[in-house]
Chain A
Amino acid sequence: GQSLEQPSEVTAVEGAIVQINCTYQTSGFYGLSWYQQHDGGAPTFLSYNALDGLEETGRFSSFLSRSDSYGYLLLQELQMKDSASYFCAVHPGNTPLVFGKGTRLSVIA
Chain B
Amino acid sequence: DAGITQSPRHKVTETGTPVTLRCHQTENHRYMYWYRQDPGHGLRLIHYSYGVKDTDKGEVSDGYSVSRSKTEDFLLTLESATSSQTSVYFCAISRPGTSGSYEQFFGPGTRLTVL
B is bound to A? no
